[in-house]
A and B are shown apart, each in its own frame.
Chain A
Amino acid sequence: MLYGTALSSRLLLGTAQYPSPAILAEAISAAGAEVITVSLRREGPGGGAFRELIRASGCRILPNTAGCHSVKESVTTAHMARELFGTNWIKLEVIGHADTLQPDVFGLVEAARILAADGFAVFPYTTEDLIAGERLLAAGCEVLMPWGAPIGSGQGLRNREGLRAMRAAFPGVPLVIDAGLGAPSQAAEAMEMGYDAVLLNTAVAKAADPVAMARAFALAVEAGRAAHLAGLMPPRDMARPSTPVFGMAELA
């Protein structure tokens, strides 16, 4: 449940960097995605075809403020996106550093406050910092989207303990791992931890076969979620025989 919208798919998919529009459309379908992220850029050739593709996908659109480094840029982009896509959903990115693409959580909180007060449903791309999370919720966010690793790095969950702590700190708040996932196993791990969904792009788009990889991620997300609901066994330091010792024959 994200901002009052029930979704059956827990995989949110980015639309950039695919080999072709046709492969993108197939990947969306193979992922079973109900939410896709898009951006706003200067109008160029091919814009019309992309508009048609996202409309035909039937997906809910989550526009981003990718590339914005300031509160003002992010807020202006969000307003432009709201008009263009007819949605108050916004994946809010305020980038703090060009190399790491690490969120500037200070600017993020400020932009989130402005946008939430203006009626936006803000999906903040943040870090696993718990205080930043608290401030974002206080600013009006109903979802938090911590990074797994830097955008496009494919490193997976770089700070497992931090992400685990974040899950524990915000029970009941939808948490989405956004960015950094490279393999389906990493998505499954996030879901096993109790994260509500994952958002990814590059891992699918840059796979040798993006459509097959989209399906692989969908299966992993489903498996991880099922495992979380089933309740994982606690790890142990020592071995413990799974086969009963009682009734063992004396053959030595």
Chain B
Amino acid sequence: MRLELNGEPVEVRATTLAELVEEQGYPPRAVATALDGVFVPVPCRAATTLTDGVKVEVLSPMQGG
């Protein structure tokens, strides 16, 4: 499946958001996720199915003012 991960096109095998986080090697509890602009909490990732072309954001703590 082809989707957009943090603004970059990627080809993935994952079919759910939880699998995608795992496949991409993100520390699952240390990132927050959104699908097409909608926040997906950790407990909901496993039940969140990915579809072709979906936009996924995986965010983590960064410096800020």
Interface size class of B (residues with CB under 8 A): 20 to 34
Report the Cα distance A40→B6, complex, angstroms.
12
Instruction: Tell me whether B65 and A15 are in contact (CB under 8 A).
Output: yes
Report if B47 contacts A (CB, 8 A).
no
Report the Cα distance A40→B63, complex, angstroms.
8
Least distance between B1 CB and chain A CB atoms (Å)? 20
* Least CB separation from B21: chain A residue: A43
Question: Using Cβ atoms and an 8 Å threshold, which residues of chain B touch A71?
Answer: none
Binds B, one of A44-52, A154-162, A163-171: A44-52
Per-position contact with A for B7-33: 1 when CB-CB < 8 Å, else 0? Answer: 100000000000000000011001111
Count A-B contacts at CB 8 Å: 95
Report the Cα distance A132→B27, complex, angstroms.
40
Contact of A84 among B57, B60, B63 (CB under 8 A): B60
Question: Using Cβ atoms and an 8 Å threshold, which residues of chain A touch B32?
Answer: 40, 80-81, 83-84
Contact of A43 among B26, B39, B63, B65 (CB under 8 A): B26
Contact of A38 among B6, B7, B31, B63 (CB under 8 A): B63
Report the Cα distance A151→B65, complex, angstroms.
9
* Least CB separation from A78: chain B residue: B39
Contact of A85 among B34, B37, B61 (CB under 8 A): B61
User: Majority SS of interface residues in chain A?
Assistant: mixed
Instruction: Tell me whether A64 and B65 are in contact (CB under 8 A).
Output: yes
* Least CB separation from B27: chain A residue: A48
Report if A59 contacts B (CB, 8 A).
no
Question: Using Cβ atoms and an 8 Å threshold, which residues of chain B touch A97?
Answer: none
Residues of A within 8 A of B (CB-CB), count: 36
Report the Cα distance A63→B59, complex, angstroms.
13
Given contacts A16-B64, A39-B65, A40-B59, 17 further A-B contacts (CB under 8 A): A17-B63, A18-B63, A37-B65, A39-B62, A40-B61, A41-B59, A41-B60, A41-B62, A42-B7, A42-B58, A43-B6, A51-B30, A64-B65, A72-B37, A76-B38, A80-B32, A83-B32
Which residue numbers of B lie inside 8 Å of A, CB to CB? Answer: 6-7, 26-27, 30-34, 37-39, 41-42, 57-65
Which residue numbers of A lie inside 8 Å of B, CB to CB? Answer: 14-18, 24, 37-44, 47-48, 50-51, 54, 63-64, 66, 72-73, 76, 79-81, 83-85, 151-152, 179, 201-202
Could you name 30 residue pairs across A and B whose Cβ atoms are closer than 8 Å? A14-B64, A15-B64, A16-B65, A17-B65, A18-B63, A38-B61, A39-B61, A39-B62, A41-B59, A41-B60, A41-B62, A42-B7, A43-B31, A43-B59, A43-B60, A50-B61, A63-B64, A64-B65, A66-B64, A76-B34, A76-B39, A79-B41, A80-B32, A80-B33, A83-B32, A84-B30, A84-B59, A151-B65, A179-B65, A202-B65
